[in-house]
Structure 1
């Protein structure tokens, strides 16, 4: 039986692999680490402060931490993000901070943000929950039930100490001396939730443009500043024609150089003001857009991860990727030209009023072109919308084919499909380009007509305006000023035409994203019941399942009972529902009828994340992520001690080949694990499933890709792997089931046999038939080469038989 490595073996293994000799002293980032139980306890007042609905126990399970797991600041930041909080690491020197409050927020004092975590160089963790003269801590006291005495005059900060689970008032000197390094504190501060609520939708309301209104409202201050900048720029645009008129009618007519100098200096000042305002407006717009991008993309990815696996199985990866990219088009519409164009549109009325003061006739001539521009927009809108829809469809088809080709490049090359695939891609690319060309043609045609109308109006204004000047009804300066004002009216109208076209594209983007955002997500931790620690009892009660409403049943009234510690094998023909059964236990699928109970809890009401973290799964074709071998083994348990990684690899029979590699456990595996062989990837996947010490372990053809030697190494450790766990083994190679205490035989989605291996062999049923087929497989017969059977021509009296 294989034992966990002792301290001496652990040290030698770490030295051989380049790991730190003592991982308990430092985290992966080179800073002091601490047990997960201290970090979780330190987060208790933070959860209470922000009134979050999650217990530290549920948070620990969601992060995959054991109480003894070593974590650091980066791990706490990930936990804060999981809670929906923003966090930032800060170095604070309280001796340099003044004794008065510097920030307007009453939650900040002396450089410390309340609440914040402080980590000492030796690894102790405390939480600063209040300052004596800044904020009461009633919510923290009620949540943690701590006895908090009144502070002494020399005591400044209230600390929550996880090690003793007590509140303590301390002075600034005591805080810096005990938990600081040279008077500097390493802190982790927290802020309000990061997400914008894009994925928080009621079940009876569909995703649409209305979902972005509350999100934009959160940024009303910076967006208001952008609108103010646009307003000021329009005022500058309004004064420019007036300056031009005065210079032409007054300065040139009276040759007044002093007036010219004054007006010139005023115009120069306005130009500088316009440049500064335009720069500040662009900065605020870019800054707000960046914040929106960060929040919206985070919300989108959160919702994407929350979707059930059936959503991805029913759609192509390229199509899903194309839909996620539509978010950038929507955000760009709201924070791009839409805001400034709308402000320009509002100023049209002001410009028209000023134009009427100059000349009613010229104003009527200008306004005649506005209905023509509107008519062009109304006619082009439906044609443009259809062209955009076609363009998106063609792009999604090409993107899906590209993603599929990259994923299957080995098959493409081994089957010499490159010429055929090139022809298919050329056809898809041509259709995509043609659809894009149609959109460009329509857009250019509408834009050209709009520009032609504007130029015709400009000509008409000059034509009629010149006659008015000749009749002394208008001055030359007035004509020039009116021409500039007319341009300020026609240009916004032209931009509104383009904005309408963009709006049609955004509507299409919203519809595309709606397919993703309206998909029902799995229950979250706040809406589902917390899943307690699993002991291993699994019960299926009359389970029936089908993939589609009109599809045949894959499982029919299946009932099974697995007690803790049972090792059960599931066999049957391909397509009989073996893998589907295990996915129902993981709640990747929902049963059509019946219930799945784990330790008596109906998993239909349990938090799927907490459930799956307690189930180890190894698939036939396991996926590895880009990174090192050690990172892949501990991917579900960041901060896992290195000796636990080695122990899991030893159980999986992977330690020997890993240590034989030049970089050992720090060897990169490549994208999807392509730098390793199939057997090596599979053994790493088995080790990955064992790192969490799950009470339920599912092995779905886990050893089918292994060579005989590797499989024997795993089979030799199978007794240790299965000890204390409920194990479900799916196998076509029936000899791998010899460790099973019971075997279940499925046929056409129904349980036809079950029992110990020897009993099933004596029943002469389906399992006996499958066993006999595998035992009687004929061995390949070595055939002689043609040269060896060719009859000799000379020197042989015996002839070869015919």
Structure 2
């Protein structure tokens, strides 16, 4: 109930959207606007809940946009679970629970509490008076109204105890903690209930495993000696009952372990994918795709270890702890033999660990290089075929396979030596102990060793179950060493700094489109030269800005900085007066529409690719964006129109069609800022002319930044920024730059020299006539 225990009180909040408990009272409908008998419109109820949650989150400095809410479930009104997940995704602590009126009054003063009403709406508990037994409730859809004072009876008509408690996260959440073996164990310990049930089942099975050996001992020592069939029948019945219970408990334990394993597998997979999405673009640009995918795939080896060998070995240890005392009770001598052999096996494995660690590190490194080459070749198969370099790639692949094979052989030999040395010890547990026990039965005087033929057989039945966990525990260290290497590989990817903090915090201004660079300098990691060197310029909102310059002059770098891809620059980059690094990164990128030279389309329909996974957009929005980008005319000719399936790699579309779909995808959210980074360079003349013809329509009421080598496509731009060697050389319209900027004039003449040559004979003939 510490959700409201923050030091900043509600009345001290500076944001006008937060209700103030000191404004007095208002009519009851201000806070409880809909009676329980009259259900509200689902959209109004959903908005009420989202606004209530956003208000509380804003109290803790986190600005949530209700338009960005997404749920995994198909629900008209957000459920408490989906609301809590939304809040947790913003970095806050949230819990949906049910409390009583007395508990509600005892909540500490501070942040408001979201009350989930029975009619689907929500209200905000913004204050309470314990002496009078009343609470102050505000309507999140009407923050201008003063809170309503209600008592228990009045509130009980519309509220049955459901609340959403929100506060700041007091410790590093599991999602943000570094990936390590300790992190994995924390994940396992989340399944405390399942672990308890498995433990109880394992202890019960261990107890049941004691009975069959003792019943067998009784059958041999008494039934066979005295020929008592009635005792044999009783022992047989007891064995049947024990077997039945053992079967049922074994099934229950396996079922619980399977459920727990499935839950762990789902959580690990969700965590890995979310961390990958949170990594910055520059990480994927610097790291080969094959290397990344291979390292991440090691998570499945870790999963199999956690849900397989580790769980089974730990469960076997419980069996060991219960059965070991009975072994010593039956025969101290034989029990010490079993323990000594098991300890020797463990010491042997430990001696081999340094060598195992070294060879497995070499093996994984070789596998990473092999997997990287495979993914790279598959990804670039079109280039491989077009250049006919299959033989070269085969040679590279053969070298990687040979390297991996040598490493795998070395690892197998080390494991083989360890297995060879431990095999005699394992066989001694099975056979040597039996021989020693038989010797004690035959040679030792009766009664001196306390072991009989029946007890020897019972000891061997129990001894095998005790030795197996000991041997498995010793070999587990070898598996742990392999998993440690896998964890290191995965952590190299997942523990890279993410963009999570930038996507959760920061400002969410409403953009108009003014862009200002003030002495901005930037250097790519590992590079000595500056990509941008003291760039300064400013354009007002609604400007169509062209970026031109030679290759490597910094044009695309400016586009990258505007998208927040690289944020470690010096100087100041402002949008509408707000420093870009202070703006919420997700809000920034959703406010930009970006079209690149080589755009990726996902497998799915044309409509799904244009929508881009944004909820709430209709087919009318898709058609509008397609018409504006010039894609409508070819979409209508497709076999199924907007429902035509796009294959992987967009193989069933031309380059111009892909580019126009990418432009439509960027325009569908009607962004205030649009970046076209060499967007028309891959188009055929007809498609380029179509896109250029629509540029003025596309640019209406938005700021556009067009990066292009083709100066002819920038003639209609309001301003053109000329870049050279990372510096801004000049800024102005086309005609002015032709007159005063030598670099721009040279680029223009290079691209239009053929047109100038075609005009020369015409000019010569005119001169001759004169």
Which category describes the TM-score, using the shorter chain as reference length? 0.7 to 0.9
User: Residue 60 of structure 1 aligns with which residue?
Assistant: 67
Residues 209 and 143 of structure 1: is their aligned pair in 2 closer, same or farther, counting only changes over 3 Å?
farther
The CA distance in 2 between the partners of 1:191 and 1:447, in whole Å, is 55
| 1:719 corresponds to which of 650, 671, 696 | 696
User: Residue 343 of structure 2 aligns with which residue?
Assistant: 371
User: Residue 274 of structure 2 aligns with which residue?
Assistant: 302
**Structure 1, unpaired ranges of 5+:** 1-32, 65-70, 87-104, 109-113, 119-124, 131-135, 161-166, 168-188, 782-802
Task: Specify which structure has the higher proportion of helix.
Answer: 2
User: Residue 11 of structure 2 aligns with which residue?
Assistant: none
User: Residue 435 of structure 2 aligns with which residue?
Assistant: 463
Residues 467-526 of structure 1, C-alpha deviations (whole Å, 9 max, x = no match)? 211232321011112222322221111111331111111111221121122211114367
The CA distance in 2 between the partners of 1:129 and 1:588, in whole Å, is 39
Contact 2:135-2:151 at 8 Å conserved across structures: no
Give 1:779 shift.
Answer: 10
Residues 547-577 of structure 1, C-alpha deviations (whole Å, 9 max, x = no match)? 1255321111111212101111111111111
User: Residue 652 of structure 2 aligns with which residue?
Assistant: 675
| 1:407 corresponds to which of 371, 379, 399 | 379
User: Residue 514 of structure 1 aligns with which residue?
Assistant: 491
After superposition, residues 258-273 of structure 1 pair within 5 angstroms as 258-273=230-245
Residues 54 and 400 of structure 1: is their aligned pair in 2 closer, same or farther, counting only changes over 3 Å?
farther
Give 1:149 shift.
Answer: 5.3
| 1:322 corresponds to which of 269, 275, 294 | 294
Contact 1:242-1:481 at 8 Å conserved across structures: yes
The CA distance in 2 between the partners of 1:60 and 1:54, in whole Å, is 18
SS in 1 for 2:717: coil
| 2:744 corresponds to which of 750, 754, 767 | 767
Contact 1:58-1:610 at 8 Å conserved across structures: no
After superposition, residues 607-626 of structure 1 pair within 5 angstroms as 607-626=584-603
Contact 2:609-2:665 at 8 Å conserved across structures: yes
Give 1:379 shift.
Answer: 1.9
User: Residue 40 of structure 1 aligns with which residue?
Assistant: 47
Give 1:398 shift.
Answer: 2.1
SS in 1 for 2:47: helix
Give 1:159 shift.
Answer: 10
User: Residue 191 of structure 2 aligns with which residue?
Assistant: 219
After superposition, residues 649-664 of structure 1 pair within 5 angstroms as 649-664=626-641
The CA distance in 1 between the partners of 2:136 and 2:654, in whole Å, is 55
The CA distance in 2 between the partners of 1:666 and 1:303, in whole Å, is 32
User: Residue 75 of structure 2 aligns with which residue?
Assistant: 73
Give 1:740 shift.
Answer: 0.8
Residues 762-795 of structure 1, C-alpha deviations (whole Å, 9 max, x = no match)? 12510001101111148999xxxxxxxxxxxxxx
Give 1:738 shift.
Answer: 1.2
Contact 2:137-2:149 at 8 Å conserved across structures: no
**Greater alpha carbon shift after TM alignment, 346-355 vs 647-656:** 346-355
User: Residue 562 of structure 2 aligns with which residue?
Assistant: 585
Contact 1:615-1:696 at 8 Å conserved across structures: yes
| 1:484 corresponds to which of 455, 458, 461 | 461
Contact 2:338-2:463 at 8 Å conserved across structures: yes
Residues 293 and 53 of structure 1: is their aligned pair in 2 closer, same or farther, counting only changes over 3 Å?
farther
RMSD of the alignment, in Å?
3.7
Residues 404 and 117 of structure 1: is their aligned pair in 2 closer, same or farther, counting only changes over 3 Å?
farther
Give 1:705 shift.
Answer: 1.5
The CA distance in 1 between the partners of 2:466 and 2:557, in whole Å, is 65
The CA distance in 2 between the partners of 1:397 and 1:602, in whole Å, is 42
**Greater alpha carbon shift after TM alignment, 744-753 vs 228-237:** 228-237
Residues 231 and 436 of structure 1: is their aligned pair in 2 closer, same or farther, counting only changes over 3 Å?
farther
TM-score (norm 1): 0.77
The structure, 1 or 2, with the larger RCO (C-alpha pairs under 8 Å, 6+ apart) is: 1
Residues 677 and 427 of structure 1: is their aligned pair in 2 closer, same or farther, counting only changes over 3 Å?
same
User: Residue 597 of structure 1 aligns with which residue?
Assistant: 574
Give 1:246 shift.
Answer: 1.1
User: Residue 175 of structure 2 aligns with which residue?
Assistant: 199
SS in 1 for 2:254: helix
User: Residue 388 of structure 1 aligns with which residue?
Assistant: 360
Residues 49 and 334 of structure 1: is their aligned pair in 2 closer, same or farther, counting only changes over 3 Å?
farther
1:83 equivalent to 2:86? Answer yes
The CA distance in 1 between the partners of 2:332 and 2:153, in whole Å, is 80
The CA distance in 2 between the partners of 1:262 and 1:159, in whole Å, is 59
Give 1:586 shift.
Answer: 0.8
1:127 equivalent to 2:130? Answer no
1:751 equivalent to 2:728? Answer yes
Residues 237 and 777 of structure 1: is their aligned pair in 2 closer, same or farther, counting only changes over 3 Å?
farther
The CA distance in 1 between the partners of 2:43 and 2:376, in whole Å, is 41
User: Residue 369 of structure 2 aligns with which residue?
Assistant: 397
Residues 301-354 of structure 1, C-alpha deviations (whole Å, 9 max, x = no match)? 111111111111111112211222222333333332323423433543543432
Residues 542 and 443 of structure 1: is their aligned pair in 2 closer, same or farther, counting only changes over 3 Å?
same
User: Residue 423 of structure 2 aligns with which residue?
Assistant: 451
Residues 431 and 661 of structure 1: is their aligned pair in 2 closer, same or farther, counting only changes over 3 Å?
same
User: Residue 223 of structure 2 aligns with which residue?
Assistant: 251
The CA distance in 1 between the partners of 2:160 and 2:432, in whole Å, is 78
The CA distance in 1 between the partners of 2:166 and 2:221, in whole Å, is 60
**Greater alpha carbon shift after TM alignment, 515-524 vs 732-741:** 515-524
Contact 1:572-1:578 at 8 Å conserved across structures: yes
Give 1:447 shift.
Answer: 3.4
Give 1:85 shift.
Answer: 7.3
| 1:426 corresponds to which of 398, 401, 419 | 398
Residues 525 and 421 of structure 1: is their aligned pair in 2 closer, same or farther, counting only changes over 3 Å?
closer
The CA distance in 2 between the partners of 1:392 and 1:321, in whole Å, is 13
| 2:664 corresponds to which of 678, 682, 687 | 687
SS in 2 for 1:560: strand
Residues 418 and 79 of structure 1: is their aligned pair in 2 closer, same or farther, counting only changes over 3 Å?
farther
**Structure 2, unpaired ranges of 5+:** 1-39, 90-96, 101-113, 125-132, 759-770
Residues 664 and 508 of structure 1: is their aligned pair in 2 closer, same or farther, counting only changes over 3 Å?
same
Give 1:645 shift.
Answer: 1.3
| 2:719 corresponds to which of 742, 754, 757 | 742
| 2:476 corresponds to which of 494, 499, 505 | 499
SS in 1 for 2:574: strand
SS in 2 for 1:530: coil
SS in 1 for 2:536: strand
SS in 2 for 1:73: coil
Residues 267 and 501 of structure 1: is their aligned pair in 2 closer, same or farther, counting only changes over 3 Å?
same
Give 1:238 shift.
Answer: 2.4
User: Residue 638 of structure 1 aligns with which residue?
Assistant: 615
SS in 1 for 2:506: coil
Residues 622-658 of structure 1, C-alpha deviations (whole Å, 9 max, x = no match)? 1111111111111153331222211111111111111
The CA distance in 2 between the partners of 1:192 and 1:454, in whole Å, is 57
SS in 1 for 2:480: helix
Residues 368 and 149 of structure 1: is their aligned pair in 2 closer, same or farther, counting only changes over 3 Å?
closer
User: Residue 335 of structure 1 aligns with which residue?
Assistant: 307
Contact 2:136-2:148 at 8 Å conserved across structures: no
Give 1:152 shift.
Answer: 7.7
SS in 2 for 1:679: helix
Give 1:50 shift.
Answer: 10
Give 1:271 shift.
Answer: 1.1
